[in-house]
Amino acid sequence: MDFFYYQNWQLNSLDSSVANSSDSEEKISLSNSKPSSLPPTPCKRIEHGIILKQLVLKGISSQLMTAQVKLKSKDATCLTVSNWIGIGTKNGLVLVFDVTQNLKWFLDTLDSPNGWGNAISAMAFNCDHSRLLVGNACGHILEYDMKDGKLVRTLNDVHPPEAAILHLKFTDLSTLALLCDSGGSVFELGFKRTLGVRGVDTRCLFSGSRGEVCALEPLRTTDQDLNIGFDFHSKWEPLIVVAMATLSKILIVQIRPTTKVIYSQLLSGDGRSPPCLGWHFVAVHSQQRGRSIEPVLAYGRHNELHFIQLSVDEERRRLRYHPLLRFQLDFNLRGLQWLDPRMLALLDSEQQVHVVDIKTQESVDVVDLSGFNLVNSAPFFQGLATGGNVSEALALVGTEACYNSMASCAGQLLLLCATSLRSVGLRHWDERLDLLVSQARPEEAIHLGLRMLNGKAKAMHGLKGTPNQRKRQLRDKEIDILNAYVERVLIPLVMQEPSMVNSGRNLSSVIELCIDVCVQLQKQSLLFDEIYPRISSFEVARDCFLQLLEPHFLNDRLQSISPSIMQQFVAFYEDKGWLEALESCISHVDVSSLDLHQILTLSHNQGLCHAYLYVHTRALQDYVSPLEDLMKQLQGAVKLGPPYSEQDLKLGHVILVYISCCLAGRAYPVGEIDEDSRIKVKHQVLTSLTCLHSKRASEDEPPYPYLRTLLEFNTQELLNALSLAFEESEFIGEMGARRQQRVIDILVEIMINSSQFSPDQICSLFTFIARQISRSPRHDSIHLERGLFQQLVDLVCSLSSKETRVQSRFEERQQALLQLLQIKGQLSLGTEDEEKLLEQAQSAKFYRVCEYIYEQRQDWEKVFECYIDDTSRHGDILHFLRNVFTESVASNVQLMERLILKHIQLLVQLNATSLAVFLAVNKPALIDEAVTALIPFPHERYRFLEAILDLATQDIDGATNTAVLIDDDGHCIEQFAELMAELEPERLTSYVQLADIPHLPRLLEICRKFAIVEAEAAILERQGEITAAYDLLLGQLQGSIKQLFVETEGWQDFEAASQSVIDFCQRQASSLTEKERERVWLTLLDELLLPQRSLKGNPDASASIISGLREVTQKVVTSIQGQISLTKVLPRLIEDPETTGGTLGDLRQLIMGLLDNYTYETTLLRISTRLLQGDVHSLLSQRYRQSRKGIALRASRCSSCNRLLQSGRNPSITAFQCRHAFHSSCLRGEIKQCIRCQPTPIIAEPEQDDSTVPNQEQLPVPQLSPAQLDSIYKARIGLSSALQNLFE
């Protein structure tokens, strides 16, 4: 981003001349600042440091003061900055300073004609700094030459008189300037020189009558950095673009080569807040053009800020705009200046300057200037000098305006106060760091430096060069800060100097910071050569230091360090006894940093086997001797026998993992062994492991000490380790097989010929060997003596039959044995052996093994039985059977059929549905036999039949047809129903309701046989024998009532029986004649009333029975409503004195129920009548309305026959609302809808003499038949008469 830096401006250098005073100034301003002026969260300040600095430009300010005294100048009013700094005053003086703050020109506009002496309101330098335009509050403009300070032009009559100049701006062209006056108009000033006479052309660009312009900003490429390149200038130079803000709008206007409005947008806001504008060239990334540098306008008002980018369409020289982003501010905007392409300085109405990072939309820092008297342009906007001849709106905006007292240059914001010039700028990155250091916040400085290095810091200013150079600068600075920190904080703290001790710093956090920074900067020389030596003599600090290295070791950021420090580290950890942590650190550190002797001694003494192995293998490339050493230790432990101590256990495990790693060519504990030494290592380790005797062995050492020890330590895991190793290429092929054979031979020798191994362990050995044999490519490379093999099989089987607690172990053995059996040729077992093996496998429950042997023998019966025996495989039986049925010869199928029948009960229990499907698909004939075979097992038979019958309804694998065939005579259903009656009688009723008609007679018999009354009644009902069914149900009810008196538990039966009668009656109500209906209901009622009557006289009768009966009676009466006339029912109830208890009171509820019902139904009637009437009425009115409208026909021809409508004599025409018309004769019959589009028709009979379009229509009668109305009325009368009867 080199081009952010302006050409030859060096305001910074000139600041240094006033550095002392500015510093003090700054401090005052900091201490004066209100708490509210701080950014919202204090941590932000710590993150970024203090970014802004505020200075007084002493040279200029003091000369302004002097001028007031000596030259009778007054307060400053306006500022313009280019290569020069121009300041105008209230009494019409202009002071021009150069970059070194020396007064260059003193221009007294009083000297000029036209009564100058009014306040200077606007000024502008042209692009090559040779001319200065000065405008005043009365609207006069002068042009000065900056080479000699002489007046060049006096511009008269360039704009309407009596209007103050608000803005003066030069464009990129030295001959073109813009002015804006308090009338709100914008004029273009074209300077010319004809025949040595200087003149000016003026043109009104924007008239104030169309909205007053209050801000104006031309796009100036010359203000920007010059390094942008030739292309850029050629692209933008011919274009003159200006942004203007009126009180309500923002406009971007192109004025050269042609005048054109490019962009306009409403810009509303508080009437007091002035609109703000600012251009800057910014690097923009776009998808089409890649990275390019384009002008961006920032504009804003009140609390909104927008960014809009312009680009040139190169071919057609057209300008385009692209809105970029907008954001909300949390303050009121008053002024806006770009600092650099990423930073904006915003002045708010509280007179605070906010510096905003555009990308993150984050305010990085705030400076409060509220104590200073910032110059504002209000007098000019209010037109005080010209008698206030301005609009109210402009005057209001002007109260806050300070357009001519802010300017930005070289990344700094210049602000004009009455008697001084201030600058607010971004601090250079190093300044920010230095400031933090000087404020005694070195930790923050260090953190900020790290953030800068990691590219996370904001508002980085002043860092130049390529990325690498920048990094180097940052790094050097960071190291400087760190050095100073060590010097001023760490060392005094270590020395226990009171000033530091009391500063609240913690030694460990200070050291931690130092280590962290050094590690991050990879500056270990600083850490270990400079810092550490200085603190190592202080025990506390040294311990702290060493301890804080640990996390860096563990995350591998500190892999190589000076051995002497590592030595001290190790010694310290050893001393403290933190051996575990030490061990894990060691394995992360490069061996070249380790004192090998120290580590080896330590690990040997302390049993740090990890570290021991690590050092040996990495540093000495010795893989065998550490194994031998460790083995010796383990031998000692194993000799004592289990249980092993934690230490020994760990040792053993480490050895096992180590062996497994070495044999697999992996380094311990992580990584891979070098390619070239891998094979050697594998070989050495294997040789060492299988050696007959250890080095320096005692006389009585048993052969193969290492393998033996490991086997004794943990047989299973050693075998697993070997098993994993045998997958390596060294154990494959002929040589490999030999190696395997040797290891296996040794293992066998050790284990079989020794009594100290449990059968369990030997079993593991067998599993291991079996697996190896089956795994080897040709299965014959490993030999095992037959007798030995038999011995092992015996052992495995006998052990497994006894002990099956650990299922995975059991399964492992079975798998191994099975795999072994599956290898052809290896085990050509004799018949005897095989029988024996079978027997053993059977007793060990190795069903898969048995199955395999039987399968080989093609003894399918036995295979099937294996499946039956092995509970875990029950799910697969059918699959097996299907295979046999589809693949096998007839004799086998017959065999299977027999077996299926034999095990039919089990099969049905497992899954009746799949069995049914299977049989239906494969062997339908077997179904009957299966059913027969199931006779002894009614439950299974029932389920099987159900599954078979279900097939008929659900199509599974196309078995439906078969199922239908099987049961063509219905014997299955019969049997099923019979079983259902026996096992699940409550299901029978619902079953018979859905059963097919032809089966009903037989089902009826079954129901009769098992006396299931409800089902019987249901069948009768379906057969149409209503009376018989009713009698049956009634009989059941009677029975249940009788039962009630005998035993009180009969409630449920009674309720169920009564409910079924009521249901039956309701169901059949519609199909019965009225007489029958009456009979049915009334007998039911009688049936219920009778027992109550008889109970009445019996004082012993339980109250519960009576109330129960009444309840049911009530239910019956409720159900009767609507079925038969109430007049028939009520008398019965009232006449029966027993029911009523002789008083009306008992009947009250009943009658209340009836009345409620009556009210309900009358309401229903009333409402439906009202609805009907409403419908009729609305239909009528709609029709009436339609009939009063004429219909304009589409054509004068019949839409059907296409002849003229009025052709022929006396034509009858039918017209529809769709504007189609037909001859009535063409519409055959009474068609009520248009045959073309079928809407509502209007049929008209034209009068004979009327040839116009007919407008009468026939109304169809609303869709309510007289019969319906009749029935409604009848119902109503019936109800009221019933009610009358009731009360008579």
Q: Which residues are near other proteins by CB under 8 A?
A: 646, 649-650, 653-654, 656-657, 660-661, 664-666, 669-670, 672, 714-717, 720-721, 723-724, 727-729, 732, 764, 767, 771, 777, 805-809, 811-812, 815, 818-819, 822-824, 848, 851-852, 855, 858, 872-873, 875-876, 879-880, 883, 887-889, 892
Shortest distance, position 723 Cβ to other proteins, whole Å: 7
What phi and psi, each to the nearest 5 degrees, are found at residue 793?
A: -60, -45
Closest CB to other proteins among 678 and 1096? 678
Whose tokens are 């240059």? That residue is 409
CA 1096 – CA 1090 distance, rounded (Å) = 10
Q: Choose between 233 and 666: whose C-beta lies nearer to other proteins.
A: 666
* Choice between 265 and 883, CB closer to other proteins: 883
Nearer to other proteins, 648 or 946 (CB): 648
Widest CA span in the chain: 147
**CB-CB neighbours of 1082 under 10 Å:** 15
User: CA 163 → CA 90, 92, 180, 290, 1252, distances in Å?
Assistant: 17, 16, 10, 47, 77
CB of 1178: closest distance to other proteins in angstroms? Answer: 58
In terms of CB distance, is 661 or 1244 closer to other proteins? 661
Contacts (Cβ under 8 Å, ≥6 apart) of 438: none
How crowded is the C-beta side of 836, counted as CA atoms within 13 Å? 11
Tokens (6 digits) for 1260? 């169809």
- The nearest distance, CB 722 to other proteins, in angstroms, is 11
Enumerate the β-bridge partners of residue 85: 81, 97
Strands (E), 109-185: 120-125, 131-136, 141-145, 151-155, 165-170, 176-181
- List all residues 6 or more positions away from 993 whose beta carbon is below 8 Å from its beta carbon: 1018, 1022
CA-only gyration radius of the chain, Å: 55
Residue 230: CB minimum distance to other proteins, A: 51
Q: Which is nearer to other proteins, 364 or 850 (CB)?
A: 850
Closer of 656 and 1072 to other proteins (Cβ): 656
Q: How far is the CB of 815 from other proteins (least distance, A)?
A: 6
Helix (H, G, I), strand (E, B), or coil: what is residue 105?
Answer: strand
477 or 848: whose CB is closer to other proteins?
848
Query: What are the CA-CA distances from residue 374 to residues 79, 120, 406, 418, 419 (Å)?
Result: 12, 16, 9, 7, 9
Q: How far is the CB of 944 from other proteins (least distance, A)?
A: 22
Question: Cβ of residue 694: shortest distance to other proteins, in angstroms?
Answer: 23
Smallest gap from residue 706 Cβ to other proteins (A) = 17
User: Cβ of residue 897: shortest distance to other proteins, in angstroms?
Assistant: 17
User: How far is it, in rounded angstroms, from Cα 594 to Cα 614?
Assistant: 11
Q: Which is nearer to other proteins, 164 or 707 (CB)?
A: 707
Tokens, residue 972: 């299955």
Q: How many other CB atoms sit within 10 Å of the CB of residue 107?
A: 23
**Residue 392 or residue 887: which is nearer to other proteins going by CB?**
887
Residue 607 CB, nearest approach to other proteins (Å):
13
- Closest to other proteins by CB, 115 or 777: 777
CA 113 to chain centre: 76
The least CB distance from residue 631 to other proteins, in Å, is 17
Structure tokens at 821: 């059996």
Of 91, 212, 90, the closest CA to residue 163 belongs to: 212
In this structure, are residues 725 and 660 in contact, taking their beta carbons and an 8 Å threshold? Answer: yes
Please name the helix (run of DSSP H) or strand (run of DSSP E) that holds residue 1154, with its range, or none: helix 1145-1187
- Judged by beta carbon, residue 646 or residue 734, the one nearer other proteins is 646
1114's tokens: 């009530």
HSE, side-chain direction, 13 A CA sphere, residue 1098: 12
Instruction: Return d(Cα 387, Cα 281) in angstroms, integer.
Output: 41
**∠ CA 76-77-81, rounded to 5°:** 90
Q: Output the smallest distance, CB 855 to other proteins, in A.
A: 6
Minimum distance of other proteins from residue 742's CB (angstroms): 18
SS (H, E, C) 82-104: CCCEEEEECCCEEEEECCCCCEE
DSSP reduced 3-state for 1092: helix
Would you list the DSSP string of 55-67?
Answer: EE-HHHHHHHHHH
The torsion angle over the Cα atoms of residues 652, 658, 664 and 666, rounded to 10 degrees, is 160
Q: C-beta of 662: minimal distance to other proteins in Å?
A: 11
Provide the minimum distance between the beta carbon of 1152 and other proteins in the complex, in angstroms, as a whole number: 50
Query: Which of 172, 583 has the CB closer to other proteins?
Result: 583
Q: Tell which residue, 1172, 1162, 1136, has the closest CA to residue 1261.
A: 1172
Q: Tell me how far apart the alpha carbons of residues 252 and 217 are, in angstroms, rounded to a whole number.
A: 10
Q: Which is nearer to other proteins, 686 or 952 (CB)?
A: 686
Task: Name the minimum Å distance from CB 639 to other proteins.
Answer: 21
Could you tell me the two tokens for 724?
């994993």
Cβ–Cβ under 8 Å, residues 413 and 337: yes
CA 851 to CA 23: how far, in whole Å?
97
Alpha carbon 763 to its chain centroid, in Å, reads: 52
Least CB distance to other proteins at residue 711 (A): 12
Instruction: CB nearer to other proteins: give 872 or 1233.
Output: 872
Closest CB to other proteins among residues 666, 1096: 666
| Minimum CB distance to other proteins smaller for 195 or for 889 | 889
Query: If DSSP codes are grouped into helix, strand and coil, which group holds residue 210?
Result: helix
Min dist CB 767 to other proteins, Å, is 8
Count how many Cα atoms sit within 13 Å of the Cα of residue 987 in the half-sphere of its side chain: 11
Q: CA-CA distance, 262 to 260, in Å (whole number)?
A: 6
When the beta carbons of 381 and 768 are compared against other proteins, the nearer one is 768
Interhelix angle 675-689/625-640, rounded to 10 degrees, is: 30
